[in-house]
Chains A and B, each alone.
Chain A
Amino acid sequence: NAGVTQTPKFRVLKTGQSMTLLCAQDMNHEYMYWYRQDPGMGLRLIHYSVGEGTTAKGEVPDGYNVSRLKKQNFLLGLESAAPSQTSVYFCASSTGRGGAGEQYFGPGTRLTVT
């Protein structure tokens, strides 16, 4: 099993450009999450999904959109990138039993917006 994978691993964008980050999991998990990590701020939840076709906002959703068309995939979109979105983005998944529970993380995507 590959676990949780993220594509791409690195990306540099210019202000105003758009992009989509792809997260895939092969563990048949119900719940999936997108976080961003900035120095000294831990992990902040952007959006999450508790099942195929569902999405919900986290702590810092502005400037991002998500879709969960298939159970195994969770896409994070930036429509018009801003320098404030320079960060490391992590995707995670969990079974959902007992709440959020143990989450399994992908390797991360380092995004720089110039």
Chain B
Amino acid sequence: EDKVVQSPLSLVVHEGDTVTLNCSYEVTNFRSLLWYKQEKKAPTFLFMLTSSGIEKKSGRLSSILDKKELSSILNITATQTGDSAIYLCAVSPPQKGKLVFGAGTILRVKS
């Protein structure tokens, strides 16, 4: 069964801290790994990592895929209160059209 596990389940940091969120997966021959940010309502897309693109960066956020360890990390540097959200990791299995999501990491950034 395809499985995605995220850790930690939640964490609280202070503004300016750097955080690392983890995602591990048990999906054979996956197509891609995606990170989403969910604030009050709908998840919004952050990054997609594939075998041809194992590192992505956008501003203070960056993500790396470790295909050997079957895992990915999402780094956020110089955190701000606006980074408070649920961060979701998802993997696309070989069966066309599906994503399998992890339970998410709840991040709270205190001012």
Contacts and interface: CB of A to CB of B under 8 A. Distances in A.
Interface of A: 4, 31, 33, 35, 40-45, 48, 50, 56, 58-59, 90, 96, 98-108
Contacts of A98: 31-32
- Counting from the closest, the 10 A-B pairs by CB-CB distance are A105-B42, A99-B31, A43-B101, A42-B103, A42-B101, A100-B92, A100-B99, A50-B97, A99-B92, A42-B104
Contacts, number: 66
22 contacts: A42-B6, A42-B103, A43-B101, A45-B98, A45-B99, A45-B101, A48-B98, A50-B96, A56-B97, A96-B97, A99-B32, A99-B92, A100-B31, A100-B32, A100-B98, A100-B99, A102-B48, A103-B34, A105-B42, A106-B42, A107-B42, A108-B41
Contacts of B45: 102-104
The interface residues of chain A, by DSSP majority, are classed as: loop
Bin the interface of chain B by size.
20 to 34
A101 B48 contact: yes
Contacts of A104: 45
Contacts of A105: 42-44
A41 B42 CA distance: 15
Given A50-B96, A99-B97, A100-B98, A107 B41 contact: yes
B9 A40 contact: yes
A42 B88 CA distance: 7
Given A42-B6, A43-B90, 4 more contacts: A31-B97, A41-B103, A96-B96, A101-B92
Nearest to A4: B42
Nearest to B44: A105
A99 B96 CA distance: 5
B31 A40 contact: no
Interface string B1-38: 00010100100000000000000000000011010000
